[in-house]
Amino acid sequence: MDQHIFFADSDDVPFALSRPVCKKVLLLNSYNYSLQWTASITKGVEDVLLASDDPVKFFVEFMDTKNHVSPEYYQNLAERYRIKYGKVRFDAIVTSDDNAVNFVLDHRKDIFGDAPVIFCGVNNYNLSDRPDFTNMSGILEAPDVAGSLNAALLLQPNLRTIYCVIDETTSGKSLRADAERIVNLFKDRVRLVWLQGLSMGELEYTLAELPEDSAVLLMTFTRDKLGQTFSFNEALSRMNRVCQQPIYSLFGFYLGNGIVGGMLTSGKYQGSAAGKMALQVLNGTRADDIPLVTGSTNRYMFDWKELDRFKMDISDLPVNSIIINKPLSFYQQNALGVWSIAGIILFLLSIIVLLLVNIRARKNAEKNLEELNIYQETLIEQRTEELVQRSKDLEMANYELKKLDELKTAVLNTVSHDLRTPLTAVLGFCKIIDRDFKRFFLPLCEETEELKAKGARIRDNLTIIETEGERLTRLINNFLDLSKIESGRISWNDVAVDPARLIDQAIPVLEGYFVQPGVTLTVDIGDNLPKVVVDPDRLFQVLSNLVGNAAKFTREGKVILTAGTTEGGWLMVKISDTGIGIAADEVEYIFDNFYQVQRDNSVYEVARGSGMGLAISQRIIHHYGGQITAKSTFGKGSSFTFTLPSAG
């Protein structure tokens, strides 16, 4: 609000700043600012002018005619205002109470010119009858006696008598004249007693003795019959000191100082109504065109303290009543605290909700975990049962395998024994038959060619029986050896053996394997071979297998048996040949049980074996902690090497 106000009291003290181009308004108060009524009017006018969109230069004067009434004083005021405002052209002059408006009208020509006049707080209803009542309008102060009586009857349903306090001043008399017309309307509902023309003492005495079903209506009491004057509040406070009954009034300036309330003429509302009229004038409306206002600025107003003191029920008050001094509600007094606590509660509630959500989530998680645990336990139980079952199955299978093994061994033993015995007999008799046939019968076959051929065939057949019988014997022996080694039932007759000596002794037997004319055996025995602790028969068996195989699968060239010492001091024996060799993809299988390399028929015929020789040899060498390996180049030859730890 860019408002600029000049606010001057009777001592010409400016209160605000101005701006160059703006309307000028003078507020001329009849009384002094210290009078509540006048202060309220001034405030009412000022508030309205401050709220105006257009800038207003506002001048305020207080004539103080409550305290000064002499003609000289008025003369002095006129002189003073003439000096101050004689050359000022006001756009509107607002007056409060009768004296000011009369003063302006009396000095329009010499001081105030023809400025429009807006008045308020005027009791003189005949003001408009003045011949110079032109270019002006305003608010007549019209106390609402009926309104205040109504309020008293509403608040005190048992009210019988109302004592009307009024003085003998001009305004008191005119007030009573107006009131007389109205109180007649109430004569059936309540008795009215006029307390007029009393001294303050008499008034106090009377008020102190009032009956319970009575009330006081304070109209005005500024001067008593003894000529003593009292300010509004002074008179009211003296009355209040003695009076035990509620006091109502007609004027707003008593409110807050000891009256219950009533339909009150309010200085503030009078002032703001006058201010609004002044604004209309500033905006171009002629003052004459604004209708006079009577009474509409009055309000039902009450003091909560007094209502409370007399235990009056607020709900009995007329609608739209204004109540002052009403204690603030708990909320109004502690709004910040209430909101803070509400905020804290909300915050705590949010945390509780969050915690509840969290607890719920945790419980769900726990439940899920529990279910998972149960599921896992069930699963583990199931798996354990399955494993136990499998273990039982395995035990059973193992047991059956052992049984089978035992059975196999028993069968092998029995069969081998039962086979070997007749086989030995067959071979023995076969040799005897061959010898006898050759000695006694073959010479007889020389006579004819036919007999000669038949004799030769019989000898061939006997040789076949012998060869196959021997092969069958080897086969059975191999079977038995392998079975005994695998079942751990073989007996190892270990002694410290000198390898060189053992090989020397074996050479004649080993040479026996070489039936092919173009193949020779070369033996190369190194010096100082380490002794080994072995069963000599088993070591011989290994040598026999390896040299036998070399002889079998070599058609020309030579077989070399080399015996030496490894870097670690072990015995190393190598049998290499220039034979048919073994395909690279088969070398790794030749130590397996019963494994025989596929050969063409010619080789097969020569080398029919059992597929057990190398398997037995490997087990013997491994039994003594040694190693046996084979290297071969298909079509060129093979070499087999075994090592044995020295006897130490």
How many of the chain's residues bind ligand ADP (CB under 6 A)?
21
Nearer to ligand ADP, 573 or 614 (CB): 614
Do the beta carbons of residue 194 and residue 166 sit within 8 Å?
yes
Q: Is 137 an interacting residue with respect to ligand ADP (CB under 6 A)?
A: no
Residue 523 CB, nearest approach to ligand ADP (Å): 16
Residue 599 CB, nearest approach to ligand ADP (Å): 6
Among 119, 561, 577, 644, binds ligand ADP (CB under 6 A): 577
Among 38, 52, 416, 610, binds ligand ADP (CB under 6 A): 610
Q: Is 628 an interacting residue with respect to ligand ADP (CB under 6 A)?
A: no
Q: Which residues contact 409 (CB under 8 A, 6 or more apart)?
A: 483, 487, 489
Residue 648 CB, nearest approach to ligand ADP (Å): 31
Residue 589 CB, nearest approach to ligand ADP (Å): 9
Q: Which residues contact 324 (CB under 8 A, 6 or more apart)?
A: 255, 256, 301, 302, 303, 304
Report how far residue 26's alpha carbon sits from residue 19's, in angstroms, rounded to the nearest whole number.
16
Q: Please, is 384 exposed, middle or buried when counting C-beta atoms within 10 Å of its C-beta (0-12, 13-18, 19+)? A: exposed
What is the contact mask toward ligand ADP in residues 589 to 608, using x (rule: CB under 6 A)? -x----xxx-----------
Tokens linked to 137: 């309008």
Residue 637 CB, nearest approach to ligand ADP (Å): 7
Residue 549 CB, nearest approach to ligand ADP (Å): 3
Report how far residue 568's alpha carbon sits from residue 231's, in angstroms, rounded to the nearest whole number.
140
Q: What residues numbered 504-543 form the site for ligand ADP, per CB under 6 A? A: none
Residue 553 CB, nearest approach to ligand ADP (Å): 3
Among 618, 638, 643, 646, binds ligand ADP (CB under 6 A): 638
Q: Is 483 an interacting residue with respect to ligand ADP (CB under 6 A)?
A: no
Pairing of the two strands 136-140 and 293-294: parallel
Q: Which residues contact 43 (CB under 8 A, 6 or more apart)?
A: 268, 271
Residue 397 CB, nearest approach to ligand ADP (Å): 30
Q: Is 293 an interacting residue with respect to ligand ADP (CB under 6 A)?
A: no
Among 539, 614, 628, 644, binds ligand ADP (CB under 6 A): 614
Q: Is 609 an interacting residue with respect to ligand ADP (CB under 6 A)?
A: yes
Cα–Cα separations (whole angstroms), residue 170 to 95, 176, 383: 20, 10, 119
Give the residue from 403, 138, 169 showing the smallest Cα distance to 276. 138
Report how far residue 620's alpha carbon sits from residue 535's, in angstroms, rounded to the nearest whole number.
9
Q: Is 557 an interacting residue with respect to ligand ADP (CB under 6 A)?
A: no
Bridge partners of residue 119, in order along the sequence: 95, 138
Residue 635 CB, nearest approach to ligand ADP (Å): 10
Q: Is 579 an interacting residue with respect to ligand ADP (CB under 6 A)?
A: yes
Q: Is 58 an interacting residue with respect to ligand ADP (CB under 6 A)?
A: no
At which residue do the structure tokens 């509620």 appear?
Answer: 246
Cα–Cα separations (whole angstroms), residue 631 to 16, 550, 641: 127, 13, 9
Among 124, 266, 545, 643, binds ligand ADP (CB under 6 A): 545
Q: Is 560 an interacting residue with respect to ligand ADP (CB under 6 A)?
A: no
Report how far residue 121's alpha carbon sits from residue 106's, in angstroms, rounded to the nearest whole number.
18
Q: Is 482 an interacting residue with respect to ligand ADP (CB under 6 A)?
A: no
Residue 592 CB, nearest approach to ligand ADP (Å): 9
Cα–Cα separations (whole angstroms), residue 363 to 360, 366, 368: 5, 5, 8
Interface residue list for ligand ADP (CB under 6 A): 545, 549-550, 553, 577, 579-582, 590, 595-597, 609-615, 638
